[in-house]
Structure 1
Amino acid sequence: MAVDFDLTTAWAFIIAFAVFMYVVMDGFDLGIGILFPGFAVGTERDQAMNAIAPVWDGNETWLVLGGGGLFAAFPLAYAIILPATYPLMIAMLLGLVFRGVAFEFRWRDERHRPLWDAAFTAGSLIAALAQGITLGAILQGITVADDAYAGGWLDWLTPFTLLTGVSLACGYALLGACWLIWKTEGSGQARAFRLARLFGVLTLLALLAVSLYTPFLHYSYWRRWFDMPGVLLTAQVPLLTLIASALFFRALSRGRERVPFLSALGLFLLGFIGLGISMYPYVVPESLTIWDAAAPAKSQVFMLVGVAVIMPMILAYTAWAYWVFRGKVGTHGYH
């Protein structure tokens, strides 16, 4: 699969990078929310909340950059994908709102803390499922006619999209458990180790199921993965996934704190690369390539100047925030 690198391709990589950054960074936030009922009321839940307190809202910057970049650089794709997934987008945004509100209010309204804890979990799970189902809906294809969405209100709802929704939720839970292994101590960390083992297995099974299902969605997917000589390169993705999985479980068995999280990030990166292999150069599979959907070249150049200034700033303050809060977390915040 050759990559014709031009301005449009550069923008595709920029948006892909922003989406990946959102998935892995806000993913462990959402994962902690999904796992929240599994932690004991009191110290364990307070530690879990404090583990993401300094970074959870900043992580969502990447969602704005990815969505805004899609609207600006590929307006036709935005105009097709959004109407096709309106219910999912609404559900995701409501989930993120409930999560954010619950995050703040649980500390200030102790009398209703169980209610806010439930809202935190529900909002996180709904947002994760909505994102995963949206990914599945794009992969399975969107009905397009005359450069507009031509499908129905619930075309996105299929067994495959439900599989991708559950798979992403499991992956987020894995990231959340691994983040808590890194950042917490005591009984909370011990519980996080157990949850990481469970969701490590579930995530790998889900990844295997999605990987086996995807090539049968479109013949073009099958060709990108299995035609010679391309298969010599694409075969490295499952091989590296096996290696990352072995490193992950070995690190858990040895009680390592950082390696499980880094290995889980590696699994997500490999899954993201696999997604790119399946889709490129389409932004709406089998209907719209990145060049079909791209904004005029002058607009892309103008926006690229802005991104060249803004993205280093986002990376810098994100790195600074993680550096400042690099230690362990306790009941009342970071040490």
Structure 2
Amino acid sequence: MNIDLPILWALVILFSVMMYVVMDGFDLGIGLLFPWFPEKEDRDVMMNTVAPVWDGNETWLVLGGAGLLAAFPLAYAVVLSAFYLPLMLMLIGLVFRGVAFEFRFKAPPERRKRWDIAFAAGSCVAAFFQGVTLGGFVQGVAVDAGRYSGGALDWLRPFPLFTGLGLMAAYLLLGSTWLVLKTEGELQQRARHLAQRAVWGLLAAIVLISLWTPLSLPDVARRWFSWPNLLWLSPVPLLVAISAWQLLRSLRTQAHWTPFLLTLLLIFLGYSGLGISLWPHVVPPGITIWEASSPPESQGFALIGALLVMPLVLIYTAFSYWVFRGKVRRGEGYHH
């Protein structure tokens, strides 16, 4: 039986990126929410909700990047050349956030404010430039003879910048619904209120990106609006509308789990829409997963390692979230 290794590797990388967006998204969202929670005690609780799990969440980013290098080296070279600056700024933001996370708890009271600013700023920079990279990738990368042929600032265009703001709205929604799940009292109620506003921000971003993309990219327009694709793909925007309505409804009640789960569904639907628009291109608009593939022997060897590592990471992740389940309260640990 012939196995299409490029498709398997594409699924592995797509899964890893989705896991990163979901799992690192909510703790980046915590940093984005800091300006709305100026009290030290609230910020302590917010950081304690993610303290046991935040560093493990970035494992999926490493796995996705390593998978791209192993399976699609041409795409890896082109993407890094095209987005070198935004990716470097993203990594700098992640470094600032990580350092601030650790130092904030150890700093004397008079210096804690600086680390709070560093944590919030690092989260904003990382989230924004992740979105910028995504937007530039969706709009297409200039390639000539297998090499990046554009300029260093080709990503500095309206659509990628708007996508950066859209991803920040998604992370804000993830962070606020995570707080609804993990906290209680006044902090939880404020998180509910912020989540309702973030839903509308994310919906606006989804609508504008969904209109902007097919209007500027004819191939995407043909993918979505040709027959019978229009019939088969119409459930995606319908499910987005239903999920958003149910999410707003759940935020007006005293539900704890439901808002976060519906946010995950909403982000998954948006991610699926992007996947449908771009498939099977690993570097839009012209390089497919088969054209960018490494030799089958290399892909097969690396795939064995990935399929051994991924279940272990999933088991460890599930175990850590189970151990640290429950609410986080002021001045206390976890309560089951």
Pair in the same fold by TM > 0.5 = yes
Corresponding residue pairs, total: 332
CA drift of 1:14 comes to 0.5
Partner of 2:218: 219
Q: Deviations over 1:67-120 (max 9, x none)?
A: 110111100000000010011111000000000000011111122111000000
**Could you say which residue in structure 2 is the equivalent of 1:157?**
156
Q: What are the superposed Cα offsets for residues 284-314 of structure 1, whole Å, 9 maximum, x if unpaired?
A: 1122100010111111111111111100000
Cα contact 1:47–1:188 (8 A) shared by 2: no
| Equivalent position of 1:54 in the other structure | 52
User: Hey, what does 1:42 align to over in structure 2?
Assistant: 40
| Partner-residue secondary structure (3-state), 1:283 | strand
Cα distance in 2, alignment partners of residues 192 and 182 from structure 1: 10
* Matched AA of 1:276: G
1:98 aligns with 2:96: yes
Aligned partners of 2:237, 2:160: CA distance in 1, in Å? Answer: 22
Q: Secondary structure at the match of 1:221?
A: helix
Structure 1, unaligned stretches of length 5 or more? none
Q: 1:243 corresponds to which letter in structure 2?
A: I
- Within 1, Cα distance between the matches of 2:73 and 2:165? 29
Task: Check if 1:24 corresponds to 2:22.
Answer: yes
TM-score, structure 1 normalization: 0.97
Q: Distance in 1 between matches of 2:173 and 2:45?
A: 17
Looking at structure 2, the residues matched to 267 and 5 of structure 1 have their Cα atoms a distance apart, in angstroms, of 32
Q: Residues of 1 paired with 2:211 and 2:333: CA distance?
A: 43
TM-superposed CA distance for 1:188, in Å, is 1.1
Q: What corresponds to 1:76 in structure 2?
A: 74
- C-alpha distance in structure 2 between counterparts of 1:286 and 1:39, whole Å: 43
Q: Bigger CA drift: 20-29 or 296-305? A: 296-305
**In 1, distance between residues paired with 2:136 and 2:33?**
26
Task: Quote the sequence identity (%).
Answer: 54
The answer to whether structure 1 residue 334 and structure 2 residue 325 are counterparts is: no
Deviation track 1:218-256 (CA, whole Å, cap 9, x = no partner) reads: 211001000000111111100000111111011111121
Please say if 1:67 is aligned against 2:70. Answer: no
RMSD value, Cα = 1.1
TM-score (norm 2): 0.97
Which whole-Å CA distance do the structure 2 matches of 1:288 and 1:154 have between them?
Answer: 21
SS of the equivalent of 1:108 reads: coil
Equivalent residues of 1:225, 1:278 under 8 A apart: yes
Q: What secondary structure does 1:132 align onto?
A: helix
Deviation of 1:187 (Å): 1.6
Aligned residue number for residue 143 of structure 1 = 142
In structure 2, what is the equivalent of residue 249 of structure 1?
Answer: 248
Are the counterparts in 2 of residues 99 and 120 from structure 1 also a CA contact under 8 Å?
yes
Residue 9 of structure 2 corresponds to which residue in structure 1? 11
Shift of 1:40: 3.3
Q: 1 CA distance for matches of 2:287 and 2:116?
A: 42
Q: Equivalents in 1 of 2:307, 2:17: separation in Å? A: 17
Structure 2 spans left out of the alignment, 5+ residues: none
